[in-house]
Amino acid sequence: MEITVVGGGLAGSEAALQLAARGRRVLLVEMRPATMTPAHRSGDLAELVCSNSLKSDDPGTASGLLKAELRMLGCRLLDAAAAARVPAGHALAVDREAFSREVSARIGKEPRITVERRTQVDLDLPAGSIVATGPLTSGDLAGAIASALGEAGLFFYDAVSISVSAESIDRSVAWAGSRYGKGGEDYLNIPFDEATYSRLVEYLLSAPKTEPRGFEETACFDACLPVETIAGRGMDTLRFGPLKPRGLVDPRTGREPHAALQLRRETLDGSMYGLVGFQTRLSRPAQRALLSMIPGLGEAEILRWGAIHRNTYLHSPVLLDAVQALPGRPLFFAGQLVGVEGYVESIAHGLLSALNAMRRLDGRGDLLMPPETILGALQRYLATPGGRFQPMNANFGLLPPMGGQRRERRLRKAERSLAAMRSFLQDGI
C-alpha cells in the first residue's frame, strides 16, 4: 500500500525516507516551487528557513541527546546533515543550500518515492497518510484542517536572523573563538562596550518595524523572539540572551566584554555568516541602520534580511491522539504543525510518524518511546492536556526527575535515556 506524505520539509522528508527504507511506496506531495511561502527561497526539499544550526551535538545537552537517540533509530536527515556540515564548535550546523540539495538528491534517487509538485487543498487522503506541511501550511489546507478539527488551531509569528557577507565583516573588530573555548575558532565574536550596547538597545526600541499582514496579533514563540521584542523587556535583557558575553574573552583585553554578538558560518565555503539569535522584524532600512551601530558591521553586506512570518500549529493535546493522529482515523500530523519546535525535533517527529503510520496500517499497536528518552518525553508533551500549550524544544525538564547537581543530573539523565533506548530497541520496532 502506498503511503501519502504531504509536505516536503524536514518532517515530511524524514518520514518519506523512513517509509521507503522499510519497503513502503511513498507519494510525497510538495507545493513548492509552484506555490511559495513568505519564508522559503527555493523548491528544494527540507529547506532550512531560519538558522543553519541544528544545535548541539553533545549528548550531554538535550539537543545532542535527541540526536543520539535518532541515530540509534537510523535517522536519514542527520546523515544528510553530516554531508553538508560547516564548522560550528560542538553544534551541528550546515550549509543550508547544500543540505537541501543533499536531501532532495537522496529522495530523488529512492525508487519507492514519487514526488508530486502540487498543493494539497483538503484532507481527502488515504488511510495512513501523514500531513507534515509545517508552520507555513497553505491557506486552503489550513482551512480544511480547521474545518475537520472543529477549531482553527493556533497561530504565532516566527522571526528570521540577518545574514551577512563574510568578507564585509571587519576582522580588526571581530575575533574568532567559541564560548568557553569549546569548538576552536568556529564563531566570530563582536564586543560591545556599555555605551555602544545602550545605544543599540535604545535604537531597537524606536526603530520602524514591518507589520504582519492578515493577522491582528503578533504572538511569537518565546525561543524565537525578535531582538527588538527582547530589548523591550529591559535594558539588560539582551545581555542575558542573544548578546550574552559569558564565556567569551576578548583576546585584546583579556576580559569578557559588556555584551557580545556571535556570528556563525552558514555556508561550506565560509562566504556567509549569520547573526546568532538576532531575529528581527525591523524594516529593511532599519536593519541597515542597525548594522551600522554594531562594531565591525558598519560596512557589512546583507545577504539575507531578517523577516517575520506566520507559523501555524495545532492544539495537539486536545485535537489529536497519543501519536498525533486524528481520533478514530489513521491520518497523522507531523513536525512543527503539531507543536514541536526546532529542526531536529521536526525530523524526530517525522520519523516517529512514519513508524506509527506503518503500525496502524499493519494492525499493530502505537509506538510510544520510553518516557526516559527525549523522544518519548516529546510524544507525551504533545498528548498531555493542561496549561498553556506552546511549541516545545527538546529539554531536560521534560524528562523524569533525578537527584544531584545540575550538571550531574543532566549526565545521569542522558545515560538513563540511552540505556532505556537500547533496551527498548532490543525487541525491534
Residue-range domain boundaries for the chain: 3-153+314-425, 158-310
Rg (CA), the chain: 22
158-310 maps to CATH 2.40.30.260: yes
The answer to whether the beta carbons of residues 260 and 208 sit under 8 Å apart is no
| Distance of alpha carbon 105 from alpha carbon 91, whole angstroms | 24
Hey, what amino acid is at 39?
Answer: A
Hey, what amino acid is at 333?
Answer: F
Q: In the chain, what's the furthest Cα-to-Cα distance?
A: 66
- For domain 3-153+314-425, give the fold: FAD/NAD(P)-binding domain (3.50.50)
Cell of 137: 501550511
| Distance of alpha carbon 13 from alpha carbon 11, whole angstroms | 6
Other C-beta atoms closer than 10 Å to the C-beta of 247 total 13
Q: What pairing do the DSSP bridges indicate for beta strands 130-131 and 3-6?
A: parallel
User: CB under 8 Å to 180, separation ≥6 — which residues?
Assistant: 247
Beta-strand runs (E) in 296-383 = 302-304, 307-313, 332-333
The answer to whether the beta carbons of residues 92 and 52 sit under 8 Å apart is no
Task: State the residue for C-alpha cell 496500517.
Answer: 361
pLDDT in tens for each of the 429 residues of the chain? 899 999 999 999 999 999 999 999 999 999 999 998 877 889 999 999 878 999 999 999 999 999 999 999 999 999 999 999 999 988 999 999 999 999 999 999 999 999 999 999 999 999 999 999 988 888 899 888 888 886 545 455 566 789 898 989 999 999 999 888 877 788 999 999 999 999 999 999 999 887 554 432 445 555 568 899 899 999 999 999 999 999 999 999 999 999 999 999 888 788 889 999 888 889 999 999 999 999 999 999 988 888 776 667 888 998 999 999 999 999 999 999 998 989 999 999 999 999 999 999 999 999 999 999 999 999 998 998 876 676 788 988 888 888 777 678 889 999 999 999 999 999 888
* Torsion sign (Cα): 81, 87, 93, 94: negative
Q: CA dihedral in degrees (271, 276, 277, 281; nearest 10)?
A: -30
